Amino acid sequence: MKNIYGETLKELEQYFIDKNEGKFKATQVFEWLYKKRVKTFQDMKNVSLKTINDLTNDFSIEPLEIITKKTDIDVSKYLFKLSDNNKIEAVLMNHDYGNSLCISTQVGCNMGCHFCESGRLKKVRNLEASEMVRQILAVEEDLNIRISHIVLMGIGEPFDNYDNVISFVDIVNTPKGIDIGSRHITISTCGLIPKIEEFMNYDKQVNLAISLHAPNNKIRNSIMKINKAYPLEKLIPTVKRYVDKTKRRVTFEYIMLKGINDSVDNAIELSKLLKDINCYVNLIPYNETSHIEYKKSSKDQILKFYDTLKKNGINVTIRREFGSKVKAACGQLRSNYEEAQNEV
């Protein structure tokens, strides 16, 4: 049975049209779900008994189960259990501009980036749109807050689950729904070129982030398997076409790995690679994990890298470090939880 939180407003309108009822009922249901946050269909007070019975027969309305939560300064990390007992994570970060939630889009990941904890578990399945939406609802209810920004950068490759991700964006962006502005939503990809090309034609002003992490093919091949399928000489021109067509700035994510991609020469090479692209680079201090040998670059080295990009005309920021005490790196909380369960 489908979960109601996976239905877009247009899909619910068609649902009621197919039942020979007014499509306005879809708006009523959306408002009960996302504005008044009812937990059962029976709590929808201005909806007919027939509609309630139809919804009950055709949809489930169960929330995600929170298995555990870990908190640190300005960060809360959640581990959820899905209906099939698979587990996913989401991370809430408190910024001066609002509350940002990093959500998962798949159970596991097939991209195999060597520095990424979530990639140690191969993809089990895609998340449904409802499972992405309910990550937001669960965190908002637990902390009694409103989430203002969404980043699809948790477990999984969003563009490997493209259709469900687009449905998710449509649901959370709808004014009658959760109503998160499209410019407050960021989708990250490691470089699936066919989907970047498809995303160029998407009609919402959602932000695109490219997980780059290297200034040349040699380094990127050594840490990111995807580069062998879509090397930089194909990826960068695609990004340029995206920027030209959408008129939107793109973000390049760059995890700083000690002795791998963090030298001044690497920064100079990166500057040349990204020259004349409307972009900014987000330098990310690596969140170390016991299962992977990579180490975090020193603060001094990160600053040298930052200064070199600046001097070469690249817009660059250093991401504030969140949650090293709560295993905030993608996939860490799930991995540690399952290891602990196996030891029992």
- Active-site annotation, residues: 89, 330
Distance CA 116, CA 255 (A): 10
Distance CA 185, CA 101 (A): 10
Distance CA 130, CA 138 (A): 12
| 30, containing H or E segment | helix 24-30
| 162, containing H or E segment | helix 162-173
Phi, psi (deg, nearest 5) at residue 75: -150, 140
Cα 265 from chain centroid (whole Å): 31
- Show Cβ contacts of residue 51 under 8 Å, excluding neighbours closer than 6 positions: 21, 25, 44
- Show Cβ contacts of residue 33 under 8 Å, excluding neighbours closer than 6 positions: 4, 5, 177
- 229-246 as b/e: b if 16+ CB within 10 A: ebebeebbebbbebbeeb
3-class state of residue 211 by DSSP: strand
- C-alpha closest to that of 110 among 101, 119, 102: 119
3-class state of residue 207 by DSSP: strand
Compute the residue count for the chain. 344
Phi, psi (deg, nearest 5) at residue 177: -100, -135
List 69's β-bridge partners, or say none: 78
Distance CA 75, CA 77 (A): 7
- C-alpha closest to that of 186 among 150, 232, 145: 150
Using alpha carbons only, give the angle 10, 82, 284 rounded to the nearest 5 degrees. Answer: 85
